[in-house]
Amino acid sequence: MIIKRPQDLRPSEITRESAYLSRRAFTRALAAGTALAAAPALASSLQDELTPESIVTSYNNFYEFGLDKGDPAKYAHEMVTEPWKVRVTGEAEKTGEYDLESILRGLDVEERIYRFRCVEAWSMVVPWMGVPLSKVLSRFAPTSKARYVAFETLHRPSQMRGQRALFSGLDWPYVEGLRMDEAMHPLTLLVTGVYGKPLPNQNGAPWRLMVPWKYGFKSGKSIVRIHFTETQPKTTWNLSAPREYGFYANVNPQVDHPRWSQAQERRLPASFFSAKQPTLMFNGYGEQVASLYSGMDLRRYF
């Protein structure tokens, strides 16, 4: 099997011309045999301009390094990402501690251009590189009791200054979770690179989640533990402000955050004066994911 690592991509293969990139990613998805799942998402990005790499890697939320959007780019280099161990626990046959490298061995890295919508009402369009989460989770043979999967991210105050801060905003470690069918959905990626390069620390090296139809906070960075569970796991933002942040966190222009509207977003790069654009249901991925939530009251399960 071919392992296509982000490093193997020549920088000259990367362009900001979005239509070209989408076509190229589409071809690559075809080659990887995942065209059916990947094609609609990629095709619908055709009208979207890519957010410049310089912004993707310098305007970040990663509270482990501080509350300011510029803090992660300034301080995340203090985090050591090699070697990287991942603990797998709970309702699965193959639990234990693994090297990240051994988990990813033999899996094809694909490029996926995804819209990414933060709960704070800004958005980006990013060429991520990664492997479908489903392929990784299958390796651990989850049992029939695994109805949810929880992700825990790195807790290492010596290298993460936000975790040493008096007011760090959150409790550590950062925890997130998905229902198993959301986790196994072909759009859900484990990201290992961006813009054809290995993932910068500020974006969640060495690997982070990307769930494009959910608000950004569901996409935990620098993951060190995968826990399969029968019951819905606790999640960091829900613990910190339960009225404001739910477990599902599906992008939904019709359900406002208690303190602001979610109907519109500012696409980065943006100035204070640039126009907002309408936010799309499920961030524009409704055709692929709406069926996961049929019959659910999305106001209640926000």
Ligand X SMILES: Nc1nc2c(c(=O)[nH]1)N[C@H]1C(S)=C(S)[C@@H](COP(=O)(O)O)O[C@H]1N2
Binding site residues, ligand X, CB under 6 A: 60-64, 118, 153, 174, 203-204, 216-217, 219-222
The residue (of 188 and 219) whose beta carbon lies closer to ligand X is: 219
Angle at 67 between CA 125 and CA 165, to 5 degrees: 145
Pick what 153 binds: Mo ion, ligand X, none; C-beta below 5 to 8 Å, kind-dependent: ligand X
Pick what 203 binds: Mo ion, ligand X, none; C-beta below 5 to 8 Å, kind-dependent: ligand X
In the bound complex, what is the minimum distance in angstroms from residue 33's beta carbon to ligand X?
Answer: 28
The residue (of 206 and 216) whose beta carbon lies closer to ligand X is: 216
Q: Are strands 189-194 and 175-179 parallel, antiparallel or unpaired?
A: unpaired
In the structure encoding, which two tokens stand for residue 35, read together?
């065209």
Query: For binding to Mo ion (CB under 5 A), which residues are involved?
Result: 61, 118-119, 216-217
Position with the least CB separation from ligand X: 216
Angle at 251 between CA 246 and CA 255, to 5 degrees: 70
The residue (of 119 and 129) whose beta carbon lies closer to Mo ion is: 119
Q: How far apart are CA 169 and CA 211, in angstroms?
A: 23
Instruction: Give the amino acid at 52.
Output: P
The residue (of 111 and 265) whose beta carbon lies closer to Mo ion is: 265
In the bound complex, what is the minimum distance in angstroms from residue 274's beta carbon to ligand X?
Answer: 18
In the bound complex, what is the minimum distance in angstroms from residue 194's beta carbon to ligand X?
Answer: 8
Burial degree of 281 (CB within 10 A; 0-12, 13-18, 19+): middle
Q: How far apart are CA 40 and CA 221, in angstroms?
A: 26
In the bound complex, what is the minimum distance in angstroms from residue 294's beta carbon to ligand X?
Answer: 27
Sheet arrangement for strand 148-153:
96-99, 85-90, 223-229, 148-153, 175-179
Instruction: Give the amino acid at 212.
Output: P
Q: How far apart are CA 189 and CA 129, in angstroms?
A: 8
Instruction: Give the amino acid at 74.
Output: K
Instruction: Give the amino acid at 88.
Output: V
In the bound complex, what is the minimum distance in angstroms from residue 216's beta carbon to ligand X?
Answer: 3
The residue (of 137 and 249) whose beta carbon lies closer to ligand X is: 249
In the bound complex, what is the minimum distance in angstroms from residue 257's beta carbon to ligand X?
Answer: 13
The residue (of 91 and 182) whose beta carbon lies closer to ligand X is: 182
Pick what 111 binds: Mo ion, ligand X, none; C-beta below 5 to 8 Å, kind-dependent: none
The H helix count followed by the E strand count for the chain is 9, 12
